[in-house]
Amino acid sequence: MPRSLWTRLWDLIGGVSLRWKIMGIALAMLGILGLGITLQVRQMMGQALTWELEQRGISTAQTLAAQSTDLVLTNNLYNLFELTMDAVQNHPDVRYAFVLDAQRRLLAHSFQGGFPFDLIAANDVAAGQPYHMARLLTEEGVILDIAVPIFGGNAGQVRIGMSQTRLHNTLAAVTRRLILTIVLVSLFGVFVSTLLTWLLSRPILALSQATRRVAQGDLQQRITPWARDEIGALQASFNEMVERLAQSHQEMEAYNRNLLQRNRELSALFAVSRAVAGPLGLQEMLSRALAQVIPILHAQAGWICVLRNDGDCEICVGQWDSELSKAQLSACCRGCPACEEARRRGQPYIVSTLPAGCVLSSRIPGLSSHVLAPLQVRGQVVGMLNLACAEGVTCFCKEDLVLLEAVGRQIGIAIENARLWEELQHKEEIRGELLRKVITAQEEERQRIARELHDETGQALTSLLVNLRLLERAQTPAEIVSQTQEMREIVANILDSIRDLAVELRPSVLDDLGLVPALSRYAQECTKRLGIQVDFIAAGLSQTRLPHEMETTLYRIAQEALTNVARHAQTNHASILLERRGHEVVMIIEDDGCGFNAAQALDTAGRAHLGLFGMRERAELVGGRLVVESAPGGGTTVSVVIPLQKESLCLTDSTPNASAAQSSA
């Protein structure tokens, strides 16, 4: 249905008075209820009467069959005729009755004007059935034709027809009575609904008239409650509403003026949010934010100090008329009681009178007050917003402090976003260097594998080819045996070189036996290949296997750390501790070498320290963390902590693992 038609229909319904709506609803509910009850009663009675008619028909047919047994066997047709006529006369619902012999020939019937022989084929009872019922559509309506066998079907069958005329008449009579009852109840409902609508609409009409007068501006309207029901409560609420409207009329104008002022402040706050949004540098973001905040509060000067952990000013951005250096502005926050109080409270703090020795009073004459607003992120103060107000200007009221607190949180979040943006750019540069290093390492590894295959495996296969040609030319069994033995040695050497190359690329002991045997074997290989004595200790992991990606990460970190020891530490001793501590796996790699400045190395993105960043990236990919502790001349400690899920562990047999690790080592 189109929307315009719905609108017109709703307008038509809405224009009807409340009295007619209530009457219409009452009549509709009564009509629906009466119709539903009538249909249900008619359906239930029809089913019950039909079932009762069927049962009486079956019983009558079975009785007639039992009485006809001897008469059929003795071929007493006259008594059979009387029996069928008695059945029709004594049972008002029996329309006809007739008897058939075993060959389905008619013996007796109750029809007066001749027997319809096509009725014989309309129903039949099969052998072994107690009865069979068929519904026949005739000019008189539906007839239930019931067939019952005589003497188990050996002597014939009895057929009777049950008429539904009396059933339909009974249902019609009951329906008429129900409809009459519904009409009487509806008339009574009309009377009751009329009385009810009159009682309800009278106070509502009075309330509607009073409401229209109030809408026209008459706030002196009052209504006397007519009762203590819901309508009376509504009238009392109306009186209370009018009284409050009269009291709030003047307050609303003052509130509107205040709302306009707050709206201007929120617009300015939105301008601050737009100024600090986007991927900006820290200096640019602070300058843009300060340029928006100073006009909002009618301040004469202002600056923002980003604080370090020690409370000193790391970055200072300001806007003022006089020449003030960063050091002079930073001195206002360092050791200032007001600044410390604002940081402790986490709320803006007003200095109503500037101290005599303050750099602001000496450099910016005419200042009367100063406010400090902490810049917070997750409850931590990361900076201070400072604003100074000139004499003769009303600044920093209570509402301004609320606005400053919101601005402080906004700028604090912007500071964190700017730092994260700079850190992201820094990490992207490091990732680019790591990617280039990985590609270079892959190419170098491929070149090394190519050289190994060409120099060793290729030469060995060439030698094997030469021996095969010599074997073709061998004439004596001794020469054949000699050439065969030499080729076996060449093949064994080829297999050994390929196995060594595969172990260097991916140690099979790491996949087959786990991290502990793999690190134990690698520690011994470092002693042979790199000349470093490596002590390896494992605790708490003798009967468990870690997840595959975790074992690979720890193994590669250990490889990189020991490679760094061999290249840069200038020592011949290192140690590896692998331990499970509760729900964490900890690996510590230490050496007593020359050491380096770890903080400086991790803060720079130079190529010389990409190995450290690579180890950190590997640890973070599995949810862990890597800490490097080192100082010049104090050795180096690399700690890796990876959280461990209990369901990710796999039980193993510690004894075979240990023996396998020793044998592989």
Q: Are 313 and 397 members of one domain?
A: yes
Structural domain span for residue 56:
21-172
pLDDT in tens, 553-602: 888 888 888 888 888 888 888 999 999 888 889 999 999 888 887 777 76
**Tokens standing for residue 216:** 């026209």
Query: Is 467 within a domain?
Result: no
Q: Are 129 and 141 members of one domain?
A: yes
* Exposure on the CB side of residue 174, measured as CA atoms within 13 A: 17
pLDDT above 80 for 6: no
Query: Is 211 within a domain?
Result: no
User: Nearest to residue 587, comparing CAs of 595, 571, 569, 575?
Assistant: 575
Cα separation of 134 and 142, whole Å? 10
Q: Are 137 and 168 members of one domain?
A: yes
Q: Are 145 and 249 members of one domain?
A: no
Q: Are 584 and 528 members of one domain?
A: yes
**Tokens standing for residue 182:** 């519904």
Q: How would you classify the pairing of strands 533-539 and 573-581? A: parallel
384, 247 Cβ separation under 8 angstroms: no
- Decide which of 401, 416, 431 is a domain's last residue: 416
Query: Is 499 within a domain?
Result: no
Query: Is 317 within a domain?
Result: yes
pLDDT above 80 for 438: no
Q: Are 297 and 259 members of one domain?
A: no
pLDDT above 80 for 79: yes
Query: Is 468 within a domain?
Result: no
Our count of domains for the chain comes to 4
Helices 548-564 & 610-621, crossing angle to 10 degrees? 160
* Exposure on the CB side of residue 276, measured as CA atoms within 13 A: 26
pLDDT in tens, 116-142: 888 888 888 887 889 999 998 888 888
Cα separation of 520 and 571, whole Å? 20
What pLDDT score was predicted for residue 589?
92
Of 265 and 639, more confident: 639
Report the Cα 575 to chain-centroid distance in Å: 47
Element (H, E) at 49: helix 18-73
Query: Is 427 within a domain?
Result: no
Q: Are 278 and 324 members of one domain?
A: yes
CATH of the domain at 632: 3.30.565.10
207, 222 Cβ separation under 8 angstroms: no
- Decide which of 356, 385, 416 is a domain's last residue: 416
Query: Is 640 within a domain?
Result: yes
Mean pLDDT over 480-487 rounds to 77
- Decide which of 416, 445, 477 is a domain's last residue: 416
CATH of the domain at 66: 3.30.450.20
Q: Are 322 and 377 members of one domain?
A: yes
Q: Are 133 and 227 members of one domain?
A: no
Q: Are 46 and 109 members of one domain?
A: yes
Mean pLDDT over 369-390 rounds to 77
pLDDT above 90 for 160: yes
CATH of the domain at 313: 3.30.450.40
Exposed / middle / buried, residue 571 (Cβ in 10 Å: 0-12, 13-18, 19+): middle
Q: Are 228 and 352 members of one domain?
A: no
Cα separation of 81 and 77, whole Å? 6
Q: Are 25 and 152 members of one domain?
A: yes
pLDDT above 70 for 653: no
**Tokens standing for residue 78:** 């006259």
Query: Is 410 within a domain?
Result: yes
Mean pLDDT computed over every residue of the chain: 77
